A and B are shown apart, each in its own frame.
Chain A
Amino acid sequence: MPASSGRINLMLALALLVVTAAVSSAADHPTVTTPLPSAKDRKPAPNFVVTDANGKTITLSSYKGRVVLLDFWATWCTGCKVEIPWYMEFQKRYSRRGLTSIGAAMDEEGWKVVSPYLEQHPISYPVVVGDADFAKLFQIDSLPVTLLIDRNGRIADWHVGMVVKSTWEDEIRALLREKAK
């Protein structure tokens, strides 16, 4: 029917209006935020001794006095990989103030797949490979998992799944303001 063309035009215009209205709405701030627990409510992080890509031994206890961002990731985990540049930025920005980022790759194949990945995707902080025991130590049963460990070696935040960069950065700043005992 000829009137169909006019109606389609009208529907097109309405649809365009919906798109414009939706696009014009600004992105909101995430609501998945929980305040950091107070220092006395934090549990001590289990110590570990592992070797990084350069063969250097990494011990968590050796970072006492620094805030540690411990990121569990894997080469197959797309979301984890997108987060890594954030942690590189944090490392660059807050290293002098006492932040150390450590990446723990949880690939079953270990360095066999992690090394080639690191060659193509250089990471500016130490990367270690975690095995089943390491996963058990931190009760890792899914990825990504990111931990913030305060200057006294206690777990200040533990996040499973995607984190919000700005929230994470706020928490890092808050932890960096704390003093080591």
Chain B
Amino acid sequence: MTAAAGWLADRVSRLLDPDERDAVRGDFAELGITSAQAVVEVLGLLMRRQAALWTEWGPWLALVGVVIPLGALLGQLSWSWADGSAIYTFLYVNNWTWAYVESPGARRDLLDVGTRVCLNDLALIGWSWTTGFALGSLSRRTLWVTATLFCLVVFVVFGFSSGTTARANPFNAAVFSLPFYRVRYPWLVLTGLVLLPAMWGMRRSRRSASLPLIPTLVGFAVIALLTVSAARTLELFAIGHWHLTRLDPSPDGFAEHGGWFRPLRLLPLLPLWPVAFIVASACWRRLRGQPASA
């Protein structure tokens, strides 16, 4: 019990800054307090330190401007995006035929679908990276709290999205009868296209809260172009593709519900705002003559 408490006290104290950590450990040794007491003391100190940090605007802006809206968007997108691309992966990979490359029309379609899926994936990676970077820049000292909350929002929305995606369409039953596409594929997309890039962005922001201007502008242009190319898919997937498009009773097929979802046309602006923030930070630094690490 004492050994476990000692280990816990040590782990918890690592959340403090190095200087403060050493001082606190020294105090505990001098006072001769137990490991359990040490855990309580360190937790109390951590909470007070965190509370002090949250008196600034940065963490709040990170929470309201990044964690909630972008966590929700990326959580929803990763599942619906996964289900959308699962259908094409199933069609082209699990059911491959050389006729896809032998027939000129089918070859063009394959290229078109492949390009579209790749561009959408790149857009998702770009949005996630910039979201992570903006989160890290806005809340450098509270990152472990905002990052945890971000992951929590992503996971919660991700969990609630499964019934609203392409898998809800019984026509796609063959695809989602496979455990790989039903279970593993969405997690792959979430991890590979959202969580990893977001953490990579957060990690990058630890080195410098701002990026060099020219690469940032190039990155902004690339992500803006990717967003434009993915805008339509983003609109459809963001609130559940299956609910937006329904089967018409006639064989003319899918008819869109018009009108009520028009405000969603502004949705592509949401994942672009962290990019705009990063550009603004880089410009601001350049104007003030401060160097940014590459």
Where the two chains meet, the residues of A that have a C-beta atom closer than 8 Å to any C-beta of B are 1-5, 7-9, 11-12, 15-16, 18-19, 22-23, 25-32, 72, 74, 76-77, 79, 81-86, 88-89, 92, 106, 108, 117, 120-122, 130, 132, 135, 140-144, 160-166
Question: With A11-B199, A32-B174, A82-B92 known to touch, is A1 a contact of B141 (CB < 8 Å)?
Answer: yes
Kindly provide the distance from the CB of A105 to the nearest chain B CB, expressed in whole angstroms.
10
Task: Verify B180–A143 contact, CB threshold 8 A.
Answer: no
- Other A-B contacts than A8-B147, A81-B109, 17 sampled, CB-CB below 8 A, are A2-B18, A5-B206, A8-B143, A11-B199, A18-B187, A30-B178, A32-B177, A76-B254, A77-B253, A79-B171, A82-B109, A85-B97, A86-B99, A135-B250, A135-B251, A162-B90, A164-B174
Question: With A32-B173, A32-B177 known to touch, is A86 a contact of B95 (CB < 8 Å)?
Answer: yes
Q: How far is the CA of A130 from the CA of B196 in the complex (A)?
A: 49
Partner of A161, one of B94, B95, B103, B173: B173
Task: Verify B99–A22 contact, CB threshold 8 A.
Answer: no
Partner of B106, one of A23, A79, A121: A121
Q: How far is the CA of A104 from the CA of B185 in the complex (A)?
A: 34
Q: Is B56 an interface residue (CB 8 A)?
A: no
Pairs across A and B, CB under 8 Å, 11 listed: A3-B16, A8-B199, A18-B187, A30-B174, A82-B91, A120-B104, A135-B250, A141-B247, A142-B251, A161-B172, A162-B172
In the complex, chain B residues 134-159 whose Cβ is within 8 Å of any chain A Cβ: 141, 143-144, 147
Q: How far is the CA of A165 from the CA of B195 in the complex (A)?
A: 34
Where the two chains meet, the residues of B that have a C-beta atom closer than 8 Å to any C-beta of A are 14-18, 87-88, 90-95, 97-100, 103-106, 108-109, 113, 141, 143-144, 147, 169-175, 177-180, 184-185, 187-188, 191-192, 195-196, 199-200, 202-203, 206, 247, 249-254
Task: Verify A106–B251 contact, CB threshold 8 A.
Answer: yes
Q: How far is the CA of A110 from the CA of B202 in the complex (A)?
A: 54
In the complex, chain A residues whose CB is within 8 Å of the CB of B187: 18, 22
Kindly provide the distance from the CB of B180 to the nearest chain A CB, expressed in whole angstroms.
5
In the complex, chain A residues whose CB is within 8 Å of the CB of B90: 162
Instruction: List the 5 closest A-B pairs by CB distance, nearest first.
Output: A121-B105, A161-B171, A85-B99, A165-B95, A106-B251
Task: Verify B171–A83 contact, CB threshold 8 A.
Answer: no
Kindly provide the distance from the CB of A31 to the nearest chain B CB, expressed in whole angstroms.
4
Kindly provide the distance from the CB of A177 to the nearest chain B CB, expressed in whole angstroms.
22
Task: Verify B103–A88 contact, CB threshold 8 A.
Answer: yes
Partner of B191, one of A1, A9, A18, A79: A18
Closest to B112 in A: A78
Q: How far is the CA of A155 from the CA of B252 in the complex (A)?
A: 24
Task: Verify A161–B170 contact, CB threshold 8 A.
Answer: yes
Q: How far is the CA of A107 from the CA of B277 in the complex (A)?
A: 47
Task: Verify B199–A12 contact, CB threshold 8 A.
Answer: yes
Q: How far is the CA of A130 from the CA of B185 in the complex (A)?
A: 37
Q: How far is the CA of A141 from the CA of B52 in the complex (A)?
A: 63
Q: How far is the CA of A8 from the CA of B178 in the complex (A)?
A: 33
Task: Verify B184–A22 contact, CB threshold 8 A.
Answer: yes
Closest to B96 in A: A165
Task: Verify A19–B188 contact, CB threshold 8 A.
Answer: yes
Q: How far is the CA of A179 from the CA of B267 in the complex (A)?
A: 59
Task: Verify B250–A163 contact, CB threshold 8 A.
Answer: no
Q: How far is the CA of A121 from the CA of B180 in the complex (A)?
A: 32
Task: Verify B200–A79 contact, CB threshold 8 A.
Answer: no
Kindly provide the distance from the CB of B251 to the nearest chain A CB, expressed in whole angstroms.
4
Q: How far is the CA of A141 from the CA of B254 in the complex (A)?
A: 11
Q: How far is the CA of A7 from the CA of B14 in the complex (A)?
A: 11
Task: Verify B252–A108 contact, CB threshold 8 A.
Answer: yes
Q: How far is the CA of A91 from the CA of B101 in the complex (A)?
A: 16
In the complex, chain A residues whose CB is within 8 Å of the CB of B143: 1, 4, 8
Task: Verify A72–B104 contact, CB threshold 8 A.
Answer: no
Q: How far is the CA of A108 from the CA of B90 in the complex (A)?
A: 29
Kindly provide the distance from the CB of A169 to the nearest chain B CB, expressed in whole angstroms.
10
In the complex, chain A residues whose CB is within 8 Å of the CB of B98: 89
Task: Verify B184–A12 contact, CB threshold 8 A.
Answer: no
